[in-house]
Structure 1
Amino acid sequence: MVCAQRGYKCVHASDTRVWVITMAESFSLERRKLMRYLGARVIVTPRAGKGTGMVVKAQELAKKHGWFLCHQFESSANYEFHYNTTGLEILSDFEDAQLDYFVLGYGTGGTFVGAGRRLREHRPEVKICLAEPAEAPLLASGQKSERRADGSATGSHAFFAPHPIQGWTPDFIAKIVEDGVEGSPGYDEYMAVPGSAAVNMSQMLAKTQGIFTGISGGASMHAAVELAKKAPEGSVLLVLLADTGERYFSTPLFANINESMNDEELVISRSTPNFQM
């Protein structure tokens, strides 16, 4: 949307103003379509290449065509944005109010580091709970990702396995995440979230709370619920649901949702005489 507003046209690669996204084919079809709807050129990389593959492809394309590369997994602009926006929003919302835990997962690490640092400075009593997929316990392993000179990972982490929580934990530890874990803000609590639990929680939130979040939102809420079970009574938890269910129609999140009417719906339809299918 920003590119569209600023006139960064998404045209042939020979044009100097181009917006190109690389995306592994394991990401939902809705993500590709949304980006293309906004005018981007989406270059799909093989599923087997995982997150590393789409990053390497972006690096190759930037070098080949002389394009600007965002480096969202390494750039300080990522977490500085959240330090100056998300972090301030949290402080404003909880001004003169109790807040005990900040619960979130990580992808690039921008929110974790940026908002986390702001909280450490102004609300040091707040504990940060960082969550990751149980299938891909990269942080829990204690093993770092190997890196190039620019901070990007050289390949897949040994403890990575595919998981359904899109937006969380690629197959490497982002440099922003690593720096945030080793330095500021760090984290106080850790939660491993099974992919199936994330899906179930997302579905439950929609049906019982009217919250239409995606799988990563379900993962964050699952982590918060598990944390709440052991937190002191009366604790206040802030949970980040940075996702929407509209990106997941083609994923397991909607696998049990029929396009056609089910038996109950057919009975309701036939309860009146007109316009039956």
Structure 2
Amino acid sequence: MAIYNSILETIGRTPIVKLNRIAPKHVSVYVKVESFNPGGSVKDRLALSVVLDAEAKGLLKPGDTIAECTSGNVGIALAMVAAARGYRFVAIMADSYSMERRKLIRAYGGKIILFPAELGSSGGNKIADELAQKYGWFRARQFDNPANPAFHRETTAAEILSDFAGKRLDFFVTGFGTTGTLTGVGQMLKLARPHVRIVATEPENAAVLSGKPWAIHQIQGWAPNFVPSVLDKNVIDHLMTINEVVGRDTARRLAAEEGIFAGISAGATLASALKVAETAEEGSVLLVMLPDTGERYLSTFLMEGTNEGSDDDWLASQNSEIGAS
């Protein structure tokens, strides 16, 4: 165990875990569990990087306000980092995102401005720009800030390369969000392990990278209605789409069969990896990014139809089984 001077020092160094029941028998599937970050998601890395970079450039001083258009995870992460570094934070969020995300941002002392979901991330960013200009707030600009992929090159990729040193790795699978993870990790793997295939995945009903029209979708954190400027398309070896219901159901399986409760985007990424695994050669090794915890999706369709009362029917079935035996 270690003693830390700040909660922010615990960001990163997340575990890589082998899946033992969901993965096909002819391959090995590992997941990088980013919910182990203190703010519960991979976006802790982005938030810390952006803030430290802004401080180094003299763009932030104590008491300043940070503002960002966010689907939730970046907002939660920035609210946490702001609290720890002495800043205020304002999230500009679509009104379709989960209540848990709003409450988590407010728990860290942040404020929230909601906008209609149909405006998409581009509309939200326009609102954020207008508010920041009016009130003198600092904009994190997650989709355009080079500090985003830079931190993934320095930390996420370094962790993966260290953990797989001397070991086989054939595929790296991640989702289309800000593209910081995809770009940063992808660039480093291309240099250090060029044989590793980089797989990017996006919602089939909002496949912007594939050149299809954007639509409101339920994989929160994925697929803004534009292509982020930080994306390095050259790192992508294979681009695929996934159905959001399949992603949701895979997240449920991950919790029930592997004991890892992750979010909808994690389920969608894993579902994509399992599709890749179907045709992968014997002995292949896949690494899948799991961006966040499922605890911030309890009010969403991730848990839709879940019994919230007593399991009396189940208990009765147990009594029947005992009587039958």
Q: TM-score, normalised by structure 2?
A: 0.71
**Deviation (angstroms), 1:270:** 10
Q: What SS does the aligned partner of 2:250 have?
A: helix
SS at match of 1:213: coil
Q: How far did 1:190 drift?
A: 1.9
DSSP-derived class of the 1:259 partner: coil
Q: Could you tell me how far apart the structure 2 residues matched to 1:201 and 1:242 are?
A: 14
Partner of 1:57: 127
Match for residue 164 of structure 1 among 218, 221, 225: 218
Equivalent position of 2:71 in the other structure:
none
Does the residue aligned with 2:186 lie in a helix, a strand or coil? helix
Larger relative contact order (C-alpha < 8 A, sep ≥ 6)?
Answer: 2
Aligned to 1:7: 86
Secondary structure, counterpart of 2:200 in structure 1: strand
Following superposition, the deviation at residue 53 of structure 1 comes to 2.3
Tell me if structure 1 keeps the 8 A contact 2:118–2:216.
no
1:73 is aligned, of 143, 146, 167, to 143
Q: Which has the higher strand share?
A: 2
Verify: 1:84 aligned to 2:146, yes or no.
Answer: no
- Aligned partners of 1:137, 1:268: CA distance in 2, in Å? 44
State percent identity of aligned pairs: 45
Q: 1:256: how far off?
A: 1.4
For 2:278 and 2:318, the matched residues in 1 are separated by 44
Aligned to 1:204: 253
Instruction: Look up the match of 1:137.
Output: 207
Quote the offset at 1:269 in angstroms.
Answer: 11
Q: What is the 5 A alignment of 1:1-277?
A: 1-8=80-87, 18-141=88-211, 159-177=213-231, 180-181=232-233, 183=234, 186-265=235-314, 267=316
Shift of 1:262: 3.6
Aligned-partner residue type, residue 92 of structure 1: S
CA distance in 2, matches of 1:267, 1:95: 52
Runs of 4+ residues deviating >2 angstroms:
262-271
Amino acid at match of 1:109: T
Q: CA deviation at 1:268?
A: 8.5
**Counterparts of 2:181 and 2:293 in 1: how far apart (Å)?**
17
Query: What one-letter code is carried by the residue in structure 2 that aligns with 1:174?
Result: P
Matches of 1:55 and 1:267, distance apart in 2: 53
Aligned partner letter, 1:215: I
Q: Distance in 2 between matches of 1:168 and 1:221?
A: 14
The normalised TM-score by structure 1 is: 0.83
Deviation track 1:116-166 (CA, whole Å, cap 9, x = no partner) reads 11111111111100101011111112xxxxxxxxxxxxxxxx610121111
Secondary structure at 2:139 match in 1: coil
Residue 155 (structure 1) aligns with: none
RMSD over aligned CA atoms reads: 1.8
The alpha-carbon distance between structure 1 residues 267 and 101, as it changes in their structure 2 partners (threshold 3 A), is: same
The question of whether the paired residues in 2 share the 8 Å contact of 1:165 and 1:216 is answered with yes
Q: Say whether the 8 Å CA contact 1:24–1:53 is kept in structure 2.
A: no
The number of residue pairs the alignment matches comes to 241
Q: Distance in 1 between matches of 2:190 and 2:319?
A: 60
Aligned counterparts of 2:246 and 2:105: Cα–Cα separation in 1: 28
C-alpha displacement at 1:267, in angstroms? 3.8
Quick check: 1:26–1:47 contact (8 Å CA) kept in 2? yes
Tell me how far 1:88 sits from its aligned partner. 0.3
Separation in 1 of the partners of 2:261 and 2:315? 26
Deviations 1:210-240 (A, max 9, x none): 1101100000100000000111111100000
